[in-house]
Structures are given as structure tokens and as C-alpha cells.
Amino acid sequence: MRRPLIVGNWKMNKTASEAVAFIRDLCGRVSASPHADVVLAPPFTALESASRALGSSSWISLCAQDIHWEPHGAFTGEVSAPMLLDLGCRYVIVGHSERRILFGERDEHIQKKVRSALRHGLSPILCVGESLGDREAGQTETVVTAQLKGSLAELSMRDLATVTIAYEPVWAIGTGRTATTEQAASVHRSIRLFVEIGWNSETASAIRILYGGSVTPQNIKSLLVSDTIDGALVGGACLDPDSFATILRLAQIPRA
């Protein structure tokens, strides 16, 4: 049975001191549960203070929002896996649609990032998802499968087991237009099939696949009803401790 995972992606929001205040507030509202894992992705500048505020035995794992594939070197403005590990990160988001669309990231970059994360012991959260045009043209599966192929090609079974996939339709991110549970579940099933064909059925049934795109306290429960949706990548609704705590509480209810 896969344990739900909720990831809060702050994007370019919150200073270091706001991060500390948020974590104190959140931890006063909700606590650890054996029924769901929780991950928080502050901006780079708040990782160190967030890490201190969480403490070394925290039930909330720390995640970075991006990574460069080289461990060090002349890459102005970039941050590497060893730097993130040193700050206490366990996860890193890779291939978010905002990076693909606004910063021109392509699958070949994303593949290098996934490999670098794995090489250094960080768990990648790989984002994939179609645009509205792709969906309307009936290209959802083709686009998502191409992104998966381009990013995960030739990973060993062992490496793939530590990857989380986040299906995030671009038309649902930050728009208030959430995919229906059936729309998300249908893409999740095709992702699992892709993993089964490329690796094997054990890996396909073990890998966690999250949904992301306008997840809120109001819709999280209906998404988690599907047994192929293993949690959520949450943007806007994770910025407020009250709404994020509600999402966490709802995700912590044991699944049937």
C-alpha cells in the first residue's frame, strides 16, 4: 500500500523569517501521522532557516524547487545536489511546468537533473503534464509519455523506486481549474502502465504518483478517493498554514 505524500511548493514566496513563522504555525495545527508523508519546498533562500525550524527529526521533509546537474562549477545562479543535501533537503522538484515554460527547460536537462539528484541521494519529484491545447487535441497521453521517456530513460529499477512522479496538467496550475478525479486517475493509470512496460509491475505498483493543479482543502478528499492518486503537489493552497494544515489532516485519514 502506497502512503500518500503531500508536497507544498512555495515557489518564489516567503522570506527566511516568514518560513520560520509558517513552520511554527503549521506545527501548532497539525502533527505527524503514520498515514501520510509531508514535504515542504521553500525557495533556496529559506531552506536553511526552514531546516533549523523543522529540526533534524521532523516529520516534515525538506525539498528544493530545482537543482543543477553538476555538483559544482562555473554556473552562476545555480544550486547543486551536494549544497541541498548539506542544508538537510531530502527531495527536489524537477521539471516543474513553470521551469519548462518560463525558463526553457527541456527533457534533456530534466533527465540530467533527475540523475544528479539520484547520484547524490536526493529523491526527485518529477513533474509532467500537458497544456490545454495538448488535451484538447487528444494528445495528453502522448505528451506525458514523451516527457517521462525523455526524463527517466534508462534509469535502473532501484533508482526509479526513489522517484516520485507528479502529474500536473498545465491548465490546472494556479488557475482554480482542478482536473476531475477521473481525468487525473486516467493519466495516472497510463503513467503506471508506462512504468510497468519500461521496468516491471512491482515498480509500477510501488511508485508514488501525485496530482498537482489547484488542489485545495475543498477538493483534496475527492482526489484521494482514487487508489491510483497517491497524494498532491500543492502550490497556492500551501502558502497559508490553515489551508495547508487542513489538506494535511484530510490526507492523514487512513485510506480504505
- The nearest distance, CB 72 to ligand PEP, in angstroms, is 28
Query: Could you say whether residue 236 binds ligand PEP (CB under 6 A)?
Result: yes
In the complex, residue closest to ligand PEP by CB: 235
Q: Which of 173, 184, 185, 210 binds ligand PEP (CB under 6 A)?
A: 173
Query: Could you say whether residue 67 binds ligand PEP (CB under 6 A)?
Result: no
Per-residue HEC secondary structure of the chain comes to CCCCEEEEECCCCCCHHHHHHHHHHHHHHCCCCCCCEEEEECCHHHHHHHHHHHCCCCCEEEEECCCECCCCCCCCCCCEHHHHHHCCEEEEEECCHHHHHHHCCCHHHHHHHHHHHHHHCCEEEEEECCCHHHHHCCCHHHHHHHHHHHHHCCCCHHHHCCCEEEECCHHHCCCCCCCCHHHHHHHHHHHHHHHHHHCCHHHHHHCEEEEECCCCCCCHHHHHCCCCCCEEEECHHHCCHHHHHHHHHHHCCCCC
Active site residue 96: yes
Active site residue 120: no
Complex with ligand PEP: residue 89 or 179, whichever CB lies closer: 179
Catalytic residue among 98, 105, 168, 188: 168
Q: Which of 71, 121, 133, 174 binds ligand PEP (CB under 6 A)?
A: 174
Query: Could you say whether residue 9 binds ligand PEP (CB under 6 A)?
Result: yes
Query: Could you say whether residue 168 binds ligand PEP (CB under 6 A)?
Result: yes
Catalytic residue among 96, 105, 109, 188: 96
Catalytic residue annotation:
96, 168
